[in-house]
Amino acid sequence: MIKSKKTQRGDWIFVIICIFVAIICLVPMLNLAARSLSSSDYIIKGEVTVYPKGLNFKAYQYVFDNAKYVRSFFWTVFLTFICTFVSLLMTAICAYPLIFHKLRGRGLINIIITITMFFNAGTIPNYLLMKSLGFLNNPLVLIIPSCLSVYNMIIMRSFFYGIPESLRESAEIDGANYLTILWKIYIPLSKPVFATLALFYAVGRWNGYSDALMYINNKREDLYPLQYYLYNILKSQSDLSAQEGFSTPGLSDTIKSAIVMFSTVPILIVYPFLQKYFIHGVTLGAVKE
């Protein structure tokens, strides 16, 4: 189909806007990468922009030689995988029954679930609840409290609505039970929404640190996720170089930048593998009801 000149101009304007936004998002990341690879002398002088000066890998050598960061990295990877799996399982189990119109109390259940999106008990009651359950300083405190997002559940439920009921009815006639229908029909047909929500859950867990801050003390440092260490480093008012035994003043900024890159790049690598499902899953799950 041949586009009119007005439509073509609109497309070019849209492309220019997207490029501009991409540059705005990319420049801080490039600056961070450049600072992590630059000599501390150039950082002190403020000469580092989007490419490194005085190329060196001391900061990354420090990060990879530090056992607590490496251990925390692998723990965070494992935690992200487990949390994503459990969250997808809980989301599917919650969303699937709500598509059945014959479910008793379905409307009330939907209302109660939706209310939790806007109201919660607060930090102190949540802390007391975790304490009463024995979850403090326990790996479960990083998994169970955040294993279900109502927003994500609504997306998955809406996606399930878009699957023809005739498929479910045919399976019921053939003698399949509800769990078999979920496993054999709904999950295989819902790969886009599962991939999209997996990305949501994985990014949320990878970037999470507040639960570790509230529920885990320094007696269980082995449970600290990587972002918790990053949080402590970036909020520190003292010079990191002095804390770690470095004498070069600007080296602390280099280390901070290297740790930020160390904790950011792995989750960015996941995006290209899920990008083809992302828009498809969100749009279908958002408009079908």
Both 192 and 283 in one domain: the answer is yes
CB 255 within 8 A of CB 240: yes
Q: How many helices (H) and strands (E) does the chain have?
A: 15, 0
List helix spans (H) across 38-122.
Answer: 40-45, 58-65, 67-95, 106-115
Per residue in 61-79, is it b (16+ CB within 10 Å) or e — as a string? ebbeeeeebeebbebbeeb
Averaged over 161-188, what is the pLDDT?
89
Both 91 and 33 in one domain: the answer is no
- If you average pLDDT over every residue of the chain, what do you get? 83
Both 111 and 173 in one domain: the answer is yes
- The pLDDT score that the predictor gives to residue 286 is 47
CA distances from 49 to 29, 34, 44, 286 (A): 11, 7, 12, 40
Quote the domain boundaries for residue 2: 1-56
Both 38 and 138 in one domain: the answer is no
In this structure, what token pair is assigned to residue 199? 């990305």
Q: How many domains does the chain have?
A: 2
Averaged over 186-203, what is the pLDDT?
89
Q: Is the pLDDT of residue 249 over 80?
A: no
Averaged over 13-28, what is the pLDDT?
89
CB 119 within 8 A of CB 249: no
Per-residue model confidence as pLDDT tens digits over 113-147: 989 888 888 888 999 999 999 999 999 999 999 89
Both 48 and 181 in one domain: the answer is no
